[in-house]
């Protein structure tokens, strides 16, 4: 389902990071639930939309969903070996894990 980016409730918490791009996560203050979105551009006028990816139950699952989306919808959709597929998965997940590390 595509929606206009301006329709996100202003009360939702928006969680963005360049490593997640074009995906991001929102957390609804009213329901406490998460939503994963993808930014997409469609149509003759290159209109920006948001594609709802899923409604994960936890933040951790939201990150896993984004990793799976990046793997399946990324630039490389043809893997010549299992090793290449696994290495790509590991690269994606490591980049997300590194973004979540907190240095004190």
Share of the chain above pLDDT 90, in %: 68
Mean pLDDT within 67-71: 94
- Is residue 46 pLDDT above 80, yes or no? yes
Q: Which of 51, 58, 57 is nearest to 23 (CA)?
A: 51
Confidence of residue 103 (pLDDT cuts 50, 70, 90): low
Q: Name 24's bridge partners.
A: 37
Tell me the pTM: 0.85
Alpha-helix runs per DSSP H in the chain: 59-73, 82-100
């Amino acid at each position: 389902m595509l929606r206009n980016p301006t329709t996100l409730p202003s009360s939702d918490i928006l969680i963005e990071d360049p490593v997640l791009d074009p995906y991001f996560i929102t957390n609804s203050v009213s329901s406490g639930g998460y939503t994963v979105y993808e930014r997409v551009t469609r149509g003759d006028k290159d209109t920006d939309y948001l594609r709802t990816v899923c409604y994960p139950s936890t933040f951790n699952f939201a990150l896993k969903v984004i990793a799976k989306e990046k793997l399946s919808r990324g630039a490389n959709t043809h893997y010549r070996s299992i090793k290449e597929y696994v290495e790509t998965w590991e690269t994606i997940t490591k980049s997300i894990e590194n973004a979540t590390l907190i240095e004190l």
